[in-house]
Amino acid sequence: MSGRIIADRYELSTLIGQGGMGQVWTGYDQRLDRRVAVKLLRPDRVAGAEAEELRRRFVRECRVTAQVDHPGLVTVHDAGTEGDELYLVMQFVDGADLGDHLAEHTPYPWEWAVSVAAQLCAVLSAVHAVPIVHRDLKPRNIMVRQDGTISVLDLGVASVMDSDTTRLTHTGSPIGSPAYMAPEQAMGGAVGPYTDLYALGIVLYELLSGTVPFDGATVLGVLHRHLYEAPLPLGRLRTGLPDGLEPLVMRLLAKEPQDRPGSAQEVYQALTPLLPARGVPRGTPLDPARPFLRPHAPWPDHPLAPAPRPGRPPAAPGGGEGADVATAVDDVKRLLGEGRITQAVDILGAILPTAARQHGEHSAVVRTLRKQYAATLLDDGQYRRALPELRRLADEYAAEAGTADPRSLQFRYEAAQCLEQLGEPGAALAEYRALLPYFENQYVSTDRDLPLEVRRRIGHLLLALGDRPAAQDTLLRLLHDAEQRYGPAHPLPAEVRRTLHWLGLV
């Protein structure tokens, strides 16, 4: 189904999830050239004769949930129907779902667990104020972003499926996730904010112990345990938890809603003394404690660190070891011709490892692909990702043909532009100054315009660094040479005169 277009706009790319009710795909918004996540639901598999009513309720519910404005909720971009399916187009989240995050960090630090729970409380408090009940809170519906913040998925979807007419599928299974289902939800009773708080307790219990409190071989067996069994005390599964944490989890897991905390805000207040105090985070991605250690701080912590790649890169056309590199290149050319740069970048990034295995890391094919990848990243404004690619290409050409090789110099020049765009004026200035003698040497470069452009950039970087005397000297000399080459009416000398006038020198 890869390549299928939904609503004449959203192109499906990679299947990342599948269940009884539908599928989740990465995709591209062709109109705005951005990554999105697309959920496809099959109401006929859930509601049978009630499918048409479910479609209407789905669209209506999506309109309501789209009005909830909170940074911890994944943004809903679009929703509607496509043939027999319902589609939901959401913001693409770069991170890991909480289930994978837990699996990769066992035992899960209790500070992280508390931080995740507190962020979830903030989201649930905003959602319950609408009022909306999530109904399907679980690790697979919770994303940990690269900066440690939490995003909740699928708000409103479960509420559509969990109506009187759709509570059971045609096989008799309940809609939802049994391991995280509150007793009242399992019995088909009224749900409310207290239902989400029970699910929050299950999630917190799982993070702290590594397992859900109630599991079993059958759905009915799991639901029976929710209704009648007490969870095993956390202290028997893990030591070293702070005082007050286990009692809070046990309150969240109370069988009767009235015995649970009164609101998500109340749970947050109970968690507050356990949250990390402000300090210096470890600087690693996917750290849920970071938003409390360093609130509202920019990410990444180190500006020049390459931006983390998406956790699940899109598959190249054809996929796998046998992916057709030539087909991928043709697709890239087509996408670039259509202005869909973001999608072209992803295809190039995905096909590079396959091309390296097929043709060799240092083959001409791979180098051509890497050059196209770097150029496309640059065109897409992804300067942080383009920078290491450009530096690598520059170093390779310099090693093969010397530091004055025109190809190496061009890649260094583009890398300097990346540094300039990334707000590193000192590093960019040093690189431009190192390049200028090569560009002024007619035996190395035949482009007579490029040295003047580099000098213009040097002058403006000197201004950015506060060195006005050096900027004045550079720009005055540039003005003289630019007027000699282009004449006084040309845009370049005109711009330099305006800058000098601003400095009060002309």
Query: Based on the domain organization, do 403 and 272 belong to the same domain?
Result: no
Could you identify the residue written with the tokens 């995709």? 27
Which conformational region is residue 70 in: left (phi greater than 0), alpha (psi within -120 to 50 degrees), or beta?
beta
Greater model confidence, 32 or 2: 32
Tokens of 478: 């540039």
pLDDT of residue 312: 43
Token duo for residue 398: 């310099």
pLDDT higher than 90, residue 6: yes
Tell me which of 291, 316, 340 is where a domain ends.
291
Average pLDDT over residues 217-229: 91
* Same domain flag for 359 and 372: yes
Q: What is the CATH number of the domain that holds 17?
A: 3.30.200.20
Are 117 and 109 in contact, with CB atoms under 8 Å apart?
A: no
- Model confidence at 503, pLDDT cuts 50, 70, 90, reads confident
In terms of pTM, does the model score above 0.75?
Answer: no
385 and 447 inside one domain:
yes
473 and 454 housed in the same domain:
yes
Please state, in angstroms and rounded to a whole number, the distance separating the CA atoms of residues 329 and 163: 48
pLDDT band at 47 (very low <50, low <70, confident <90, very high): low
**Contacts for 425-432: CB closer than 8 Å, 24+ residues apart:** 425/461, 425/464, 425/465, 426/465, 428/457, 428/461, 429/458, 429/461, 429/462, 429/465, 432/457, 432/458, 432/461
Given a cut of 70, whether residue 48 has pLDDT beyond it is: no
Position 133 confidence tier, pLDDT thresholds 50, 70, 90: confident
Which of 10-24, 286-300, 378-392 ranks highest by mean pLDDT?
378-392
Phi-psi region of 402 (alpha: psi -120 to 50; beta: other; left: phi over 0): left
pLDDT at residue 416 in the model:
95
Q: Quick one: pLDDT at residue 76?
A: 87
**In which residue are the tokens 């809903």 written?**
76
**Are 282 and 133 in the same domain?**
yes
- Comparing 376 with 113, which gets the higher pLDDT? 113
pLDDT at 301 over 70: no
Residues 435 and 496 in one domain: yes
- 173 lies in the same domain as 246: yes
Q: Does residue 364 lie within any of the structural domains?
A: yes
Order of strands, edge to edge, in the sheet holding 34-41? 5-6, 10-18, 22-29, 34-41, 85-91, 76-82
Window from 104-108, 253-257, 300-304, 341-345 with minimum mean pLDDT? 300-304
Residue 295's Cβ-count burial label (10 Å; 0-12, 13-18, 19+) is exposed
Task: Assess whether 75 and 102 both reside in one domain.
Answer: no
Q: Residue 481: how many CA atoms within 13 Å on its side-chain side?
A: 16
* Percent of the chain with pLDDT strictly greater than 70: 87
* Start-to-end C-alpha separation, the chain: 64
Is 298 a domain residue? no
418 and 494 belong to one structural domain? yes
Q: Give whole-number Cα distances, 434 to 7, 56, 147, 449, 482, in Å.
A: 51, 64, 35, 17, 21
Q: Calculate ∠ Cα 284-286-291, nearest 5°.
A: 90
Q: Which residues are annotated as a binding site for ATP?
A: 39
pLDDT, tens digit, 9 for 90 and up, residues 306-321 = 444 444 444 455 444 4
Highest averaged pLDDT of the listed ranges 18-22, 76-80, 190-194, 480-484: 480-484
136 is a catalytic site residue: yes
Measured between alpha carbons, how far is 151 from 123 in angstroms, rounded to an integer? 8
pLDDT of residue 501: 86
The type of residue at 279 is G
User: Do 214 and 281 share a domain, yes or no?
Assistant: yes
Please indicate, yes or no, whether residues 83 and 99 belong to a single structural domain of this protein. no
- Asked if 393 and 405 count as a contact pair (C-beta separation under 8 A), the reply is no
pLDDT band at 265 (very low <50, low <70, confident <90, very high): very high
Mean pLDDT computed over 144-158? 85
pLDDT value at residue 283 = 72
Higher pLDDT, 10 or 505: 10
270, 291, 312 - which closes a domain:
291
Indicate the annotated binding residues: 39
Q: What is the CATH number of the domain that holds 212?
A: 1.10.510.10
Write out the residue range of the structural domain in which residue 84 sits: 1-92
Q: Which pair of structure tokens corresponds to residue 223? A: 């639901």
Does the pLDDT value for residue 405 go beyond 50? yes
Side-chain half-sphere CA neighbours of 484 within 13 A: 8
Mean pLDDT of the chain: 86
Residue 305 lies in a domain: no
* Active-site entry in 29, 97, 136, 162: 136
Tell me the C-alpha distance between 475 and 468, whole Å: 10
Residues with Cβ within 8 Å of residue 108, at least 6 apart in sequence? 102, 207, 208, 210
Out of 56, 76, 92, a domain closes at: 92
Name the burial class of residue 205, with classes exposed (0-12), middle (13-18) and buried (19+) by CB atoms within 10 angstroms of its CB.
Answer: buried
Give me 4's structure tokens.
């299928």
* pLDDT (average), residues 132-145: 92
pLDDT at 22: 76
Distance CA 279, CA 277 (A): 6
Q: Domain containing 495 — which CATH number?
A: 1.25.40.10
pLDDT of residue 203 exceeding 70, the answer is yes
Per the structure, how many domains does the chain have? Answer: 3
What Cα–Cα distance (Å) separates residue 202 from each residue in 98, 254, 268? 13, 11, 16
Domain membership of residue 297 (yes or no) is no
Asked whether residue 86 falls in the same domain as residue 118, the answer is no
Residues 6+ apart with CB under 8 A from 447: 439
